[in-house]
C-alpha cells in the first residue's frame, strides 16, 4: 500500500498565543487539545543572575527531569564558584511544572518559584489600562503615540516653539495627526544641554499646558526633572509626569502620588551634560533593568500606584550607537516588569550616525525605529513626526491583527 505524500511543509513563524491558537483551529484541533498543547508550543529562555551554585544545580536537575535544561557556569557544577548566572530553557508547560516543583525546595528556591511565575505572567501580558484621571488609555490593542511639544529655544531637533500660541497651534495639529498624548517640555535634554532655572521652565510650560488642557481631548504630560514644575503642571491639568531622571528626586514621586498622576520612569546614565562621555555597562540590559527596578520601588514606596507607571529604557541617554540598537532589538525583555513600555527614538543621533543625516532629515529612520520598537514590545512611541509615524504604525498594527 502506497500512502499519499504530504502536500507541503513549513516552519511556523507564529509565536504569540493567539497566533498559535489560530493555527491549531485551522487544522481543526479539538478545543480541549488546544488548551493542553498550547503551553507546549510556547518556548522561553529566562536568565537569572547570581544564583547560588547549590540552587543552580537543583534547578538544573529539576528542569532536566521535565525535558528542559538550565545552562550554568562550569565552575558552578564543579563547586568552584559560589554563584552563577543561569539560562532556563523550556516551554510554558515545563516552566509551570518547574515552578510547582521549586515551591517544595529549600535554599530560597520557593521564592524563585514565585518570581518565575510572576516574570512569565508579566512577560505574556499584552494589554494595560492606564488611568490618567479624566483620561483612560487602553494600551496594547494598538500602537499609541506621544507627540513632542518642545517649548525650548535649544531643542536638538530644531523644533523649539518659543511662543505660547504657536506651541498650542502646533500641539493641536499633532492631535489631528494622531497623537494620543502630548508631552510638553521646557528644558532641553540633548547631550551637553545646560540646565535652566525653575522660573524659566515654569514660564515656558505652564501657560501652554493650561491652554492645551482647555482646548484638546488627549492627556497632557509634563517632561521635567523638577518637583515644582511637576507640581504646577499637574495643578494646571497635566495628568502624566515624564521624568528622564528616573525619580531620583523623590519629591517628584510624592507629588505624582498626591495628584494620582501617571509617571514615565526613564533610565539615564549620568545627566544630559555628562551622559554621552564614554558610556559603559557591565551588561546593558541587566544594568538598565536593575536601575528601573530600584526606580519603580522608589515610586511605589512614595505612594505611586504601580498601574500608573510607564517605563522607558532611555534610548539616546548615556548610550552608544550599539547600545541603542541592542535596546531596540531586545526591547521585549523589559516586559518582565509587567508595565507599559515607552520608546523614544525620534530624530535621535544614532539614526543620524547610521544615515549620515541632520535631525530634520531623519524621518525615515525614525519611522523604521518606531515600527521595530512597536513590534518588539513598545506600547507608546514618543515622536516629533506624528502623522508619518501614525501611518507607519497603522500598517504594522493591521498586519499584526
Answer whether residue 160 shows pLDDT above 60. no
Answer whether residue 85 shows pLDDT above 60. yes
Is 293:267 a contact under the CB 8 Å cutoff? no
Measured CA to CA, the distance from residue 12 to residue 78 in angstroms comes to 39
Which pLDDT tens digit goes with each residue over 299-334? 999 999 999 999 999 999 999 999 999 999 999 999
387 is catalytic: no
- Identify the band that residue 79 occupies on the pLDDT scale cut at 50, 70 and 90: confident
* Average pLDDT over the chain, rounded to an integer: 91
Measured CA to CA, the distance from residue 168 to residue 175 in angstroms comes to 11
Identify which of 324, 334, 346 has the alpha carbon closest to the alpha carbon of residue 393. Answer: 346
Share of the chain above pLDDT 70, in %: 95
> Can you tell me the mean pLDDT for 63-80?
91
Answer whether residue 157 shows pLDDT above 60. no
Answer whether residue 11 shows pLDDT above 90. no
Cell of 350: 544614532
Which pLDDT tens digit goes with each residue over 197-227? 999 999 999 999 999 999 999 999 999 999 9
Classify the phi-psi angles of 82: left when phi > 0, otherwise alpha if psi is within -120 to 50, otherwise beta: alpha
Please give the pLDDT value at position 361.
94
Query: Could you say which of 21, 204, 319, 382 is catalytic?
Result: 382
400 is catalytic: no
Q: Is 197 helix (H, G, I), strand (E, B) or coil?
A: coil
Q: What share of the chain is helix, strand, coil (3-state, %, to 5)?
A: 50, 15, 35
Query: Could you say which of 21, 348, 362, 390 is catalytic?
Result: 348
Please give the pLDDT value at position 117.
94
Which pLDDT tens digit goes with each residue over 116-131? 999 999 999 999 999 9
> Domains, the chain, ranges and CATH?
40-124 (3.30.1370), 128-400 (3.20.20.20)
Please give the pLDDT value at position 347.
96
> Can you tell me the mean pLDDT for 272-289?
86
Please give the pLDDT value at position 15.
65
Is 202:159 a contact under the CB 8 Å cutoff? no
What pTM was computed for the model? 0.91
Which pLDDT tens digit goes with each residue over 252-278? 999 999 999 999 999 998 777 777 787
Amino acid at each position: 500500500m502506497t500512502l499519499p505524500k504530504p502536500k507541503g511543509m513549513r516552519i511556523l513563524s507564529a509565536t504569540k498565543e493567539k497566533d498559535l491558537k489560530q493555527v491549531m483551529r485551522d487544522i481543526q484541533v479539538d478545543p480541549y487539545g488546544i488548551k493542553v498543547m498550547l503551553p507546549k508550543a510556547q518556548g522561553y529562555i529566562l536568565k537569572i543572575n547570581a544564583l547560588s551554585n547549590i540552587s543552580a544545580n537543583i534547578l538544573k536537575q529539576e528542569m532536566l527531569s521535565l525535558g528542559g535544561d538550565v545552562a550554568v557556569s562550569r565552575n558552578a557544577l564543579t563547586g568552584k564558584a559560589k554563584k552563577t548566572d543561569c539560562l532556563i530553557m523550556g516551554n510554558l508547560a515545563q516552566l509551570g511544572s518547574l515552578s510547582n516543583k521549586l515551591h517544595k525546595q529549600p535554599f530560597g528556591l520557593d521564592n524563585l518559584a514565585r518570581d518565575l511565575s510572576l516574570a512569565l505572567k508579566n512577560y505574556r501580558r499584552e494589554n494595560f489600562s492606564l488611568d490618567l484621571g479624566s483620561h483612560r488609555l487602553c494600551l496594547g490593542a494598538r500602537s499609541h503615540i506621544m507627540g513632542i511639544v518642545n517649548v525650548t529655544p535649544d531643542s536638538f531637533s530644531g523644533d523649539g516653539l518659543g511662543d505660547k500660541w504657536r506651541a498650542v497651534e502646533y500641539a493641536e495639529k499633532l492631535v489631528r495627526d494622531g497623537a494620543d498624548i502630548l508631552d510638553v517640555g521646557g528644558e532641553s535634554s540633548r547631550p551637553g544641554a545646560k540646565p535652566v532655572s525653575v522660573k524659566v521652565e515654569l514660564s515656558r510650560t505652564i501657560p501652554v499646558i493650561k491652554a492645551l488642557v482647555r482646548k484638546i481631548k488627549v492627556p497632557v504630560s509634563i517632561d521635567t526633572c523638577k518637583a515644582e514644575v511637576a507640581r504646577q503642571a499637574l495643578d494646571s491639568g497635566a495628568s502624566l509626569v515624564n521624568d528622564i531622571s528616573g525619580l531620583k528626586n523623590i519629591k517628584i514621586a510624592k507629588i505624582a502620588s498626591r495628584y494620582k498622576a501617571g509617571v514615565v520612569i526613564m533610565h539615564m546614565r549620568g545627566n544630559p551634560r555628562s551622559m554621552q562621555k564614554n558610556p559603559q555597562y557591565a551588561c546593558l540590559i541587566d544594568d538598565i533593568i536593575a536601575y528601573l527596578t530600584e526606580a519603580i520601588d522608589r515610586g511605589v514606596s512614595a505612594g505611586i500606584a504601580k498601574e500608573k507607571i510607564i517605563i522607558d529604557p532611555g534610548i539616546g541617554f548615556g548610550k552608544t550607537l550599539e547600545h541603542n540598537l541592542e535596546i531596540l532589538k531586545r526591547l521585549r525583555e523589559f516586559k518582565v516588569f509587567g508595565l507599559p513600555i515607552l520608546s523614544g527614538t525620534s530624530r535621535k543621533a544614532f539614526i543620524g550616525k547610521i544615515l549620515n543625516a541632520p535631525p530634520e532629515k531623519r524621518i525615515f529612520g525614525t519611522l523604521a525605529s518606531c515600527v521595530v520598537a512597536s513590534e518588539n514590545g513598545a506600547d507608546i512611541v514618543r515622536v516629533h513626526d506624528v502623522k508619518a509615524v501614525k501611518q507607519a504604525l497603522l500598517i504594522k498594527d493591521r498586519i499584526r491583527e
